[in-house]
């Protein structure tokens, strides 16, 4: 007789403890962001998959990017910006303006601030009309080619005039330039522009890292204003920019080909807040 012993294995499941994350949603002329108060440094910011999921419009909160507000020893706060693909990125102008409004909501600041971002120090004010004016970096190098202008306003931007902006295929043509040989592996944001009058331009932007058209791009609007001045399309130093999500104003001082005291001004609005399990 053969005895068969049955060995029963018991598997113990360990549930991973999840965390409730409080977030705020802001938008500046349609450029929308997930905002997180990370002054206690609890957010797992190396988790690019999580950041991309939070920015996903179907499976997360939804946004063109995610921004952390963190402590800084020398300024009011630190800005850490991530594109919707989950990767930390260069400066975002509309994001910076929205972060200033967020900082005021948290009582970190009142109506004036200086903060640090990836491209350096930024000064900003909130007007009585609620519009946020953000000082951008100085620009002293502008590459002018026959068909386009390239410059860095905290992020790299290709600027190109087109005739039929309304019907132009932004995603297809923007991607072709962004991924083309011109800018190599790093790529560039791409702005397509139409002149309205001496002080007003309309633009549409393909954003690197979002990999699609966005309703607005602050560093892009800044790049367009400076590029149009360099090309002689306007002699004004306060330029109105019509973007898909609203209106922005860029002003600057110009001397001997250098652009200083560059300011990006526009709305930065709270949309909603909530919690999500991560």
What are the binding residues?
A: 31, 83, 93-94, 189, 207-208, 218-219
Rounded CA separation 220/244 (Å): 13
Binding positions for substrate: 31, 83, 93-94, 189, 207-208, 218-219
Cα–Cα distances in Å, from 209 out to 93, 129, 181? 15, 32, 18
Triad 161, 245, 28: Cα angle to 5°:
115
**How far is 14 from 17, CA to CA, in rounded Å?**
9
DSSP string covering 216-270 = --HHHHHHHHHHHHHTTS---SEEEEEETTEEEEEEEEEETTEEEEEEEEE--EE
Return the HEC string of 127-155: CCCCCEEEECCCECCEEECCCCEEEECCC
Q: Is 92 a catalytic residue?
A: yes
From the list 9, 55, 98, 217, the catalytic residue is 217
Does residue 55 have an active-site annotation? no
For 129, other C-beta atoms within 10 Å of its C-beta total: 6
Instruction: Copy the structure tokens of residue 20.
Output: 């409730």
- The DSSP letter of residue 46 is T
- Residues known to be catalytic: 92, 217
């Amino acid at each position: 007789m053969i005895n068969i012993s049955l060995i029963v294995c018991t598997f113990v499941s360990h549930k991973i403890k999840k965390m409730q994350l409080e977030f705020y949603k802001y938008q500046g002329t349609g450029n929308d962001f997930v905002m997180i108060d990370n002054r206690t440094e609890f957010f797992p910011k190396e988790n690019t998959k999580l950041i991309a999921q939070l920015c996903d419009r179907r499976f997360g909160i939804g946004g063109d990017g995610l921004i952390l507000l963190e402590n800084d020893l020398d300024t009011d706060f630190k800005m850490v910006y991530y594109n919707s693909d989950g990767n930390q990125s260069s400066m975002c102008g509309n994001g910076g303006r929205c972060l200033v409004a967020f900082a005021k909501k948290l009582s970190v600041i009142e109506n004036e601030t200086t903060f640090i971002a990836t491209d350096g120090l930024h000064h900003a004010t909130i007007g009585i009309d609620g519009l946020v004016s953000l000082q951008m970096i100085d620009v002293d190098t502008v590459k002018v080619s026959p068909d386009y202008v390239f410059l860095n306003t905290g992020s790299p931007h290709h600027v190109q005039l087109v005739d039929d902006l309304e019907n132009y295929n932004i995603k297809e043509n923007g991607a072709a330039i962004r991924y083309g040989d011109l800018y190599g592996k790093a790529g560039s944001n791409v702005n397509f522009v139409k002149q309205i009058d001496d002080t007003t331009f309309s633009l549409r932007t393909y954003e690197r890292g979002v990999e699609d058209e966005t309703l607005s791009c602050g560093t892009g609007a800044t790049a367009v204003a400076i590029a149009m001045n360099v090309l002689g399309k306007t002699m004004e130093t306060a330029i109105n920019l019509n973007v898909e999500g609203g209106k922005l104003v860029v002003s600057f001082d110009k001397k001997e080909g250098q652009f200083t005291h560059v300011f990006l001004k526009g709305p930065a609005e709270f949309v909603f807040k909530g919690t999500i399990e991560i």
